[in-house]
Amino acid sequence: MCGRFAQRKPSHELLNVARVIVPFTPNVPPNYNVAPTDPAIVIKADPRTGQREGEVMKWGLIPAWSKTGKMDRPTFNAKSETAASSATFRNAFKSRRCLVPVDAFYEWKKLDAKTKQPYAIGRADGQPLTLAGLWDGWKMPDGKWLHTFTILTTTPNSVMAEIHDRMPVVLEEKDYAVWLGEAEGDPATLLKPCPAEWLKVWKVSARVGSVKNNDLNLLDEIS
C-alpha cells in the first residue's frame, strides 16, 4: 500500500517530471508527510486541450456517482489487479488517469507484534518518483467540483518485498503518454513493480507516524 508520501521539492520541479508547461499558480508549500484526505499536487491531461497540467487534489478518490461524498472504505489506494473492474475506480481508470510526483513515499515494516519500523523510499538518482494515479470529480451540494485522486498499488519488487507485500506503481517517462491517454497503448500493461535498482530505501524516525509531524527532518536517515 501507500499511505504516506512527501512532496518536498517546489511545485515547478515536481511538475517538470512530466514536462508540464501550463502555468501553475497555487501556492503549495512543501508537505513532508502527506496523508489521506490531504491536498497534493497531481498531473493530468486537460480533457479539453489535451495539455498536461498540474492540479491540487484531495487524496482519497470520491467517484462522480457518490451521493454523499463519503466512501465506506478507504480509497487512497486502488489495487492494480481490480481497478479496471471496481465500481469505485473503473470509470477513472478508463478516462481519468494521472501522475503523482513525489520525493519519497513511506512504508512500515512489521518487526514484531507491537513494533513497526518506518522507511522512506525514493529514486536512487534523487529525482522525484512518478506514481500512477486515478482522479475523479464529485459535484458538491453548492455546485462546485471536488477533484480527488488515488494511487495504484501492485506486488512488490525485491527491495520492497523486504518491507511490505504491496508497493505503489512507479512509472517511467516513456510510459507517461500511454498512461495519460495521449498515445495508443494498453495502460494495464504498465501496472507492475518497477525495477528494484530504481529505488533507494532508508530508515526514518517513528515521528512520521503522526500526521502532526511535518518537517524536513522526517526524511532524515537514521541508523
- Taking only the tens of pLDDT, the chain with its 223 residues reads 799 999 999 998 999 999 998 778 787 899 999 999 999 999 999 888 889 999 999 999 999 999 999 998 999 999 999 999 999 999 999 999 999 999 999 999 999 888 999 999 999 999 999 999 999 999 999 999 999 999 999 999 999 999 999 999 999 999 999 999 999 999 999 999 999 999 999 999 999 999 999 999 999 999 8
**Residue at 111: amino acid letter:** L
CA-wise closest residue to 136 among 80, 78, 192 = 78
CA 22 from chain center: how many Å? 21
- The DSSP letter of residue 24 is -
- List of domains in the chain: 4-219 (3.90.1680.10)
- Hey, which bits of 8-115 come out as E strands? 31-34, 39-45, 52-59, 77-79, 97-102, 104-110
Q: What pTM value is reported for the model? A: 0.96
Q: Which of 2, 55, 98, 194 is catalytic?
A: 2
Are 82 and 160 in contact by the 8 Å Cβ rule? The answer is no
194 is catalytic: no
Q: Note the pLDDT of residue 48.
A: 84
Q: Which of 13, 107, 173, 221 is catalytic?
A: 107
Residues listed for the chain: 223
Backbone angles phi, psi at 120, to 5 degrees: -105, 140
Backbone angles phi, psi at 209, to 5 degrees: -70, -20
Q: Which residues contact 67 (CB under 8 A, 6 or more apart)?
A: none
